[in-house]
A and B are shown apart, each in its own frame.
Chain A
Amino acid sequence: MANNPPVDKELLVGHHTNASLDATIGDIILNPATHNEPAIKTPIKGLMTSPWQIAFGLGFLLLNVLLLSIVMLVWNGIGVWGNNQPVGWGFDIINFVWWIGIGHAGTLISAVLLLLRQKWRNSINRFAEAMTIFAVMCAGIYPLLHTGRPWVAYWLMPYPNWLAMWPQFRSPLVWDVFAVSTYATVSILFWFVGLIPDFATLRDRAKSKFAQVAFGAVSLGWRGSAKHWHRYEHASIILAGLSTPLVLSVHTVVSFDFAMGIVPGWNVTIFPPYFVAGAVFAGFAMVLTFAIPLRKWYKLEGLITMKHIDWMAKVMLATGLIVFYGYIMEVFYAWYSGVPAEMALLYNRYNLFDSPYSWAFWTLIITNGIIPQLMWVPKYRQNMKILLLVTTSISIGMWFERYVIIPISLTRDYVPGSFGFYSPTLWDIAMFAGTIGLFLFLMFLFIRFLPMINIFEMKELLHQMEHDDKHSHDHKENGKLATTAQEGAE
């Protein structure tokens, strides 16, 4: 730790001690009453509700929509969706890519920023990682269920069988299977490993028997010994090392689904970096979308400070510019190629009066290209309303990016006689809404039952700040005993 540069003081606002940090974060879980705040009046007289109840209720409702739409889909076939000839992929793959993209910020924050020793990650990494996992879960539903016969979708996995049949290793969809499953596994491991010390804190702070036993079980006997910390740091660094290439590889592989195809609008070499940047862009937007209301509702303004928000907005701006550059390059490539099919694709995208889907392209440019430019202005990076506007706009824009790329390119490719149209059905929308529901449901369960901010890393940050202070004043004995049983029992 001695080589660490001094920590920015703005990363922790207000006076904090280890105990106060434990209380601020831990009590959100241990005191159910926190979730009834702030109280919101409902139209029904006398019934008060809270953001948590609303969001969780909405999530639960939509989760049921998801289950219903899955039953409809599997019972009847892909035909309940709007997919057709020539548009083989519609909402299914758009939403898959969209969700995978949203997950990216979590991995970037927890792994890449850890390796780069960015201390500002400490207060946002936990729920960003949770978002990663839940987003991957939402994403994973699609490739499985978008197959015509989902009951044999396991054939995409390489497993020994009496047919001696292996998957087609040349197919990007098989790469997807590897990329996404690895991603999900490493993300869950990393997340869980990071939770262990916090579980121990919660175990020690818990008053109810049930919580003590439950957190005791999952804390895997963590006592906070130096040996534990030593092992932990190693595991954490190794997992971070494993995750870091995944940040780049997962969306690269996802982009191969398109870049390896010969459909005009898909077959673009710039896709891998542009997809990765897009994923980080979308991911940070989603993290901010959640962070801004959560810090307010749970009074975490001191932990997720304006500095964090400012820096996240800056990352968004930077990746957004990369993505915007990608759009420009796509146009350039089409024009530079001189290939009639590519030129027609370009024409179909931009010509608002002649082509049926150009509105989607312009929606994408406005929401994803123009509106995020507001982030150049420091004042706007501090304005929560504008920030929320921008992040929502990015989430919409990133969805439209995939909409423009995936089905709309397919509507018109090479043979004019086979040009078609694409429009989603009610079940397409229901399933999308359903995955949003699943995400909300899991996110608010997580907020209810798990520490949404990394307690011990906040304490470490606090310690380091104190350490920095002491360096400049009087040097005193210090210890990192934040999460021991004794301290927790105070």
Chain B
Amino acid sequence: MGKSSEKNNGSNVTFYKGLEHFETPEVVEPWAADEFPDRESLKGLPRRDVLKLMGAAAALAGLTGCRYQPARKIIPFVQQPEGAVSGLRKQFATAGMKDGYSVGLIADQVDGRPVRVDGNPLHSASLGSIDSKLSAEILNLYDPDRLKNPTFKGTPVGWNDALIKIEEAMRATEKGAGIAVLSGTVNSPSVARLAGEMKKIWPQLQWFQYEAVNHDAAREAARLALGGNFVPVYDFTKADVVVSLDSDVLYSGPMSIRYSRDFATRRVPNSSMSRVYAFESHPQTTGLASDHRFRVKPSEMLAIVQAIASSLGVPGAASSTLPSTVEKKAIDAVVEDLRKAGARSALVAGSHLPAAVQAAVIAVNQFLSGGAGEAVKFIVDPQPIPADHGKDIENLVTAMNANQVSVLLVLSGNPVYDLPPSVNFVEALGKVTMKAHLSSHKCESSKYMDYVLPETHFLEAWGDGVAMDGTVTITQPIIEPIYEGRSALHVLDKLIGDTAIPLEIVKRTAELSGGGNWNEILARGFYGAPAPAATVTVTENLLGSLNTGQASGIELLILPDPMIGDGRYANNMWLQETPKPVTNLTWDNALLMSAATAKKLGILAPNERKVAGVIPFYGKADMAEVTVGNQKLEVPVWVNLGQADDVVVLHMGYGRTVAGDFGTAKGEKMGGGFNANLLRPSTNSHWVSGVEVKKSGKEYVLANVQHHNTIDVSQVDKDREVVKMTTLKELEEGHPFGKHHHEHAGYDRDWNEFGEGKKMSLYPGTDFKDDAKDNYQWAMTIDLGLCTGCNACVTACQAENNIPTVGKEQVMKGREMHWIRVDRYYKGTGNSLDKDNPPILVQPVTCMHCEQAPCEPVCPVAATVHSHEGLNQMVYNRCVGTRYCSNNCPYKVRRFNFFHFSQRADNVPVLKMLQNPDVTVRYRGVMEKCTYCVQRINHKRIEAKRDDRQIADGEVVTACQAACPSGAIIFGDMRKKENAVSVSRSDKRNYLMLEELNTRPRTTYLSRVTNPHPSLVQEEAH
């Protein structure tokens, strides 16, 4: 304001508010006295105008709120919890389930919410690695489609009401007669203990276990061969020779993560490299990792084992006729190697194979080990309540149909979907008076139940579980239940009228089994010692008595899906979009068959289509009609090179009708596949022979991330050695890339010396290499000899880097967003490709962080630039999205946000919690790609700076590296010669992908090495 003036003549003092006041008091004074002196004039304003103005003002005020990124509120703690530092990660040991057994995990928690799970390095089933399904569990936790509150016939009810009603019904029974509990595998000692307590209250209560994918056949095999309930435990570090019989031991099964690591230790090309034979019905990761792959039908597996056994001289071995796809000399080679290795060899059988085959394998293993048990040993099944799932469910259904069940408590599981149509579970359910279902999701079974109760995710509740080696893992909650879920443990506890909280039950179980100090158990994540090897003896004359029965016609294998399992992960979009190993299919299952079988049936692969019979293009897949008994199913066909002829494979878990937004099958456009359970003749069947398959005439589009499949292998893949390979023998002879490899003019890769005196620059100081010595220089190596193509890295990267899923339609357009991908190649020779059994190679590809990156100079806005640590950085804020960088990237690792793919994460509140707070969520129209997990580097940098030291070797672990079960990925600072990555870079097997382009990638590969038996090596004509 103006300064006030003072007029002082006598007693009259006036304080002027300003010069105006003094000069024109008549104007100023009304305003000085009143804020709106002319308010009367407002009365003249028509009411409509006022409303118009107000409306316009409101609209304009609203418009100012229009922008693309919504405002986010940050609400601080009212009272900061002690020791909590916002943004810092805390790690807690917990555990997840894999094929019925526990796997120790570590969960990362940021600001009270879990954001990531990794393997627990101390736990024997993980050794710190993880697979795709367990990585994706974090998405299951935040799945917006989870059940949120208990319901009674669709009406919301309170938990207490529900439990009281159920308990009343249970108490109304005569000593529990008529109460049936149907659960999945009971893996938790605490649940088993509570089950015991329940039996005390209701002695007639019956407990059944059923999962669609179970260990019945293996259990049956152990009973046949060893007369007891034993499970085999392998030690692949000691296995000089591994023979796989349709087994995917490196991918499925409770111990596959650990086995991959053990297996990898023996795949290092040196004198102790193992030799692996795989007899497979269809290509699996184990076969991809093998030295020799043979195509064998499931029905012929026993003949292979018998042939090996009789050559080895196993007592009782019956003579057998070898299938045409396996030569006698192959069996001779296997036998020669097995003889040499003796106890240091392992035969592994696929868990889907008939018990007879698995029993025969046990017999051969025991013969080789002579009971010493080096590579294979047997332990008593550590499961707290071992059960035969097939028998259990049949007994239950029989009881239900006989009106003997009045109260049915289903603890997780989805029997209506899982069970084959021959078991009419829905009808049986109709005969039960009180049906309660504890389930994480609304599923096919829900609508037939009275009470549908939300189940907690394992990251929300206390629990425990047995790992396959007999140790007991603790499942620690990382977050309060997001919805009103309760765990099975909690529910059972309430039903028996106990008031203990689940934590106390788990603690009590640990105390009872002498677990030791509770806090130490929590920190470690598990208690108990690995189960000791059991002394086992093989049943006499076993081999002679084994028979898998007559097989005829086409054989159908119904196997758990590599990604979504038996369907429990169907609503997990990460797993739906992670390409399935070998086939690279996403969002659907398909009938896999060999090229010859497809040809015989007149079925065309998508890549075999022609426009006007001339121009090849990538089209739809033919559909086939599969008939088993009186069940028919129409499914699209995927031609899977390397599969045995007359064998078709269909994965389970698809064709869900009630499974949330992503799991429910929505037809061709959205995917979701076809229900393989409809073709299962019985509750446990994985292998059916005499199946009728014929071309149905319809077509279906399959979303495959690798479009070209087998197109033009002859010409396009010729001479393009993106994957280099050699054999152990050639490597020892000094050919790290095979004898026929043509050496390109290499460049001086050893710029670890930083080229002082060599380099000339017009602008010294402008290149990142100028001060390379003073900065970390990050680099990565990927050992193609160790990679099995399991895709665990893909899911782990997706979880770490907030990578959105795009859906089937976008995958079909080639717009999937994965920062790391696993390319699969069929190796041809010259212009020919063995379509029956080609060598199948896999290669993980991610941003190479080229020192001379072709993407950088072409970006018109300098949104992709090089860091002083050799990282090729992507500045999302600056990106305008010309996509020039992606065009110019020879490795095609850049991913573009064609739409607002992260919209769901933006709109669905619970998915916001899923996002890794250290990684930007990208908006539509920007490019993105692998960052070498720069957020992890920076975390470690902060720690190192705080301690005033350098980041140590091995301290920074990228997400893909952490996940990789076989340890194929090495990352670190390449300045120091002694660092693991430098050692790997100086390996003679190390090569640069597309070296001739002189991009100088920081990610380098180690060539794939196989160790074939000399008698089976075919001289390749090159």
Contact mask A53-91 → B, CB, 8 Å, 1/0?
000000000000000000000001111001111111100
Specify the chain B residue showing the minimal Cβ separation from A149.
B925
Q: How far is the CA of A309 from the CA of B816 in the complex (A)?
A: 52
Q: Does A149 lie within 8 Å of B880, measured CB to CB?
A: yes
Q: Which residues of chain A are within 8 angstroms of B900 by Cβ–Cβ distance?
A: 77
Contact mask B782-814 → A, CB, 8 Å, 1/0?
000000000000000000000000000010011
Q: Kindly identify which residue among B857, B861, B890 contacts A414, using a CB–CB cutoff of 8 Å.
A: B890
Q: Kindly identify which residue among B816, B843, B860, B994 contacts A168, using a CB–CB cutoff of 8 Å.
A: B860
Q: Kindly identify which residue among B614, B815, B843 contacts A353, using a CB–CB cutoff of 8 Å.
A: B614
* B702-716 CB contacts (< 8 Å) to partner A: 706-708, 711-712, 715-716
Q: Does A417 lie within 8 Å of B825, measured CB to CB?
A: yes
Q: How far is the CA of A170 from the CA of B895 in the complex (A)?
A: 22
Asked whether any CB of chain A lies closer than 8 Å to the CB of B616, the reply is yes
Specify the chain B residue showing the minimal Cβ separation from A148.
B881
Classify the interface of chain B: helix, strand, loop or mixed: loop
Q: Does A79 lie within 8 Å of B823, measured CB to CB?
A: no
What 7 A-B pairs are tightest by C-beta distance, nearest first? A148-B881, A148-B925, A417-B823, A88-B883, A79-B898, A418-B892, A173-B860
Asked whether any CB of chain A lies closer than 8 Å to the CB of B59, the reply is no
Please give the number of chain B residues whose Cβ is less than 8 angstroms from any Cβ of chain A in the complex.
64
Q: Does B892 lie within 8 Å of A85, measured CB to CB?
A: yes
Q: Which residues of chain A are within 8 angstroms of B862 by Cβ–Cβ distance?
A: 165-168
The interface stretch among A15-23, A151-159, A269-277, A284-292 is A151-159
A-B contact pairs, 27 of them (CB 8 A): A87-B814, A88-B886, A147-B925, A148-B879, A148-B880, A148-B881, A149-B926, A152-B880, A156-B860, A156-B861, A171-B860, A173-B858, A257-B884, A261-B888, A263-B888, A340-B719, A341-B720, A344-B716, A356-B615, A356-B616, A356-B617, A413-B890, A414-B720, A414-B722, A418-B823, A418-B891, A419-B716
Supposing A79-B815, A414-B891, A417-B843 touch, asked if A355 and B858 sit within 8 A by C-beta, the answer is: no
Supposing A86-B886, A152-B880, A262-B997 touch, asked if A415 and B892 sit within 8 A by C-beta, the answer is: yes
Q: Which residues of chain A are within 8 angstroms of B859 by Cβ–Cβ distance?
A: 168, 171
Shortest beta-carbon distance from B789 to chain A in Å: 12
Determine which residue in A89, A171, A410 has the highest number of CB atoms from chain B within 10 A of its CB, and name it: A171
Please give the number of chain A residues whose Cβ is less than 8 angstroms from any Cβ of chain B in the complex.
61
Asked whether any CB of chain B lies closer than 8 Å to the CB of A174, the reply is yes
Supposing A168-B859, A356-B616 touch, asked if A78 and B925 sit within 8 A by C-beta, the answer is: yes
Q: How far is the CA of A152 from the CA of B722 in the complex (A)?
A: 38
Contact mask B684-717 → A, CB, 8 Å, 1/0?
0000000000000000000000111001100111
Binding site for B on A (CB under 8 A): 76-79, 82-89, 146-150, 152-153, 155-156, 165-168, 170-174, 177, 257, 260-263, 339-341, 344, 347-348, 351-356, 358-359, 410, 412-421
Specify the chain A residue showing the minimal Cβ separation from B823.
A417
Additional pairs, 6, CB under 8 Å, beyond known A85-B895, A355-B712: A79-B898, A83-B898, A86-B886, A146-B882, A150-B880, A356-B615
Asked whether any CB of chain A lies closer than 8 Å to the CB of B912, the reply is no
Shortest beta-carbon distance from B946 to chain A in Å: 30
Shortest beta-carbon distance from A229 to chain B in Å: 44
Shortest beta-carbon distance from A255 to chain B in Å: 14
Q: Which residues of chain A are within 8 angstroms of B843 by Cβ–Cβ distance?
A: 417
Specify the chain B residue showing the minimal Cβ separation from A338.
B719
Q: How far is the CA of A155 from the CA of B877 in the complex (A)?
A: 11
Shortest beta-carbon distance from B614 to chain A in Å: 6
Asked whether any CB of chain A lies closer than 8 Å to the CB of B101, the reply is no
Q: Does B925 lie within 8 Å of A262, measured CB to CB?
A: no
Q: Does B883 lie within 8 Å of A83, measured CB to CB?
A: yes
Supposing A78-B898, A82-B813, A155-B861 touch, asked if A356 and B879 sit within 8 A by C-beta, the answer is: no
Q: Kindly identify which residue among B614, B857, B890 contacts A352, using a CB–CB cutoff of 8 Å.
A: B614
Q: Which residues of chain B are within 8 angstroms of A351 by Cβ–Cβ distance?
A: 715
Q: Does B858 lie within 8 Å of A171, measured CB to CB?
A: yes
Asked whether any CB of chain A lies closer than 8 Å to the CB of B897, the reply is yes
Q: Does A417 lie within 8 Å of B821, measured CB to CB?
A: yes
Q: Which residues of chain B are within 8 angstroms of A84 by Cβ–Cβ distance?
A: 813-815, 898
Q: Which residues of chain A are within 8 angstroms of B722 by Cβ–Cβ distance?
A: 414-417
Asked whether any CB of chain A lies closer than 8 Å to the CB of B845, the reply is yes
Q: Which residues of chain B are within 8 angstroms of A77 by Cβ–Cβ distance?
A: 897-900, 924-925
Specify the chain A residue showing the minimal Cβ separation from B997.
A262
Q: Which residues of chain A are within 8 angstroms of B717 by Cβ–Cβ distance?
A: 416
Q: Which residues of chain B are within 8 angstroms of A82 by Cβ–Cβ distance?
A: 813
Q: Which residues of chain B are within 8 angstroms of A150 by Cβ–Cβ distance?
A: 880
Shortest beta-carbon distance from B321 to chain A in Å: 40
Q: Which residues of chain A are within 8 angstroms of B718 by Cβ–Cβ distance?
A: 340, 344
Q: Does B924 lie within 8 Å of A352, measured CB to CB?
A: no
Shortest beta-carbon distance from B579 to chain A in Å: 11
Q: How far is the CA of A82 from the CA of B720 in the complex (A)?
A: 28
Q: Which residues of chain A are within 8 angstroms of B923 by Cβ–Cβ distance?
A: 149
Q: Which residues of chain A are within 8 angstroms of B816 by Cβ–Cβ distance?
A: 85
Q: Does A172 lie within 8 Å of B858, measured CB to CB?
A: yes
Q: Does A420 lie within 8 Å of B814, measured CB to CB?
A: yes
* B842-899 CB contacts (< 8 Å) to partner A: 843, 845, 854, 857-862, 878-884, 886-888, 890-892, 894-899
